[in-house]
Amino acid sequence: MENQRSPLHLLWLEKYEKALKNMENHQNSGNGALIEVAAQHPLKEGKYPADEFRTRLDLGIKIYKDLSQKQNVKFYIPGSRHQENGKADLVSLSEAGKQYLVLQGIPAENIFADDANDEIMGEKGVYNSTDECFVTCSLFEKHNFNNLHLVCSPNQMMRKMLCYISFGCFPNIHTAHFGKMYHNPINEIFECIPKVLENNQQEQNITRNSRRPQ
């Protein structure tokens, strides 16, 4: 059966095994948990998490409270300032998510947001799943966390998982269901996931440029 697998299939199996081994090493030597809550644009009134984003943040808060009974826990809320259909948000997704968490009682010092975006991505910014997962994995390695959690839409789960695997991590995945979700599962299967599997840099740059305010 293995001889019938494509080179791309075998490549990703190798990446997956490496990611699992890395997580095992962190379990044995790391400390604390990191939670990435996948942000969602556009923001309400350009400043506040809209309903789907807020649903994910609320689930993240629940996970945070459960985990923090036994260990130190940090959030990472990804996302630079986005535009959609020519209309730009007033603040970054990271800032909007951070402020929501702070209002819910999460200490600001326990939240990575624009500070992490700037440190790791600089002017390039954080505009797609690849960027989000790269920053999260960088934080995970730099601070030697023990475990990693992802909160996202069920429709974007596979794409996020592949992005994580490509950077050597494999998170615990929690999906936040919402009535009408931004991500279309059919587009994910036929458009987004193939781009990740093939590491299509040109398409990633097109996405970044379309979302970066001009």
Task: Report the first-to-last Cα separation within the chain, whole angstroms.
Answer: 50
Coil, helix or strand at residue 17:
helix
Residue 139 located in a structural domain: yes
Query: Which residue's structure tokens are 């690849």?
Result: 130
Residue 42 located in a structural domain: yes
Inform me whether the pLDDT recorded for 3 exceeds 90: no
Inform me whether the pLDDT recorded for 1 exceeds 70: no
Number of domain units in the chain: 1
pTM listed for this prediction = 0.96
Residue 1 located in a structural domain: no
pLDDT digits (tens, 9 = 90+) for 25-76: 999 999 999 999 999 999 999 999 999 999 999 999 999 999 999 999 999 9
Centre a 10 Å sphere on the Cβ of residue 88 and count the other Cβ atoms it contains.
16
CA–CA separation, 32 vs 149, rounded Å? 11
Confidence category of residue 14, pLDDT binned at 50, 70, 90: very high
pLDDT digits (tens, 9 = 90+) for 117-176: 999 999 999 999 999 999 999 999 999 999 999 999 999 999 999 999 999 999 999 999
CA–CA separation, 136 vs 114, rounded Å? 12
DSSP label of 144:
T
Domain that holds residue 82: 6-211
Residue 26 located in a structural domain: yes
The answer to whether the bond into 7 is cis (omega within 30° of 0) is no
pLDDT score recorded for residue 214: 84
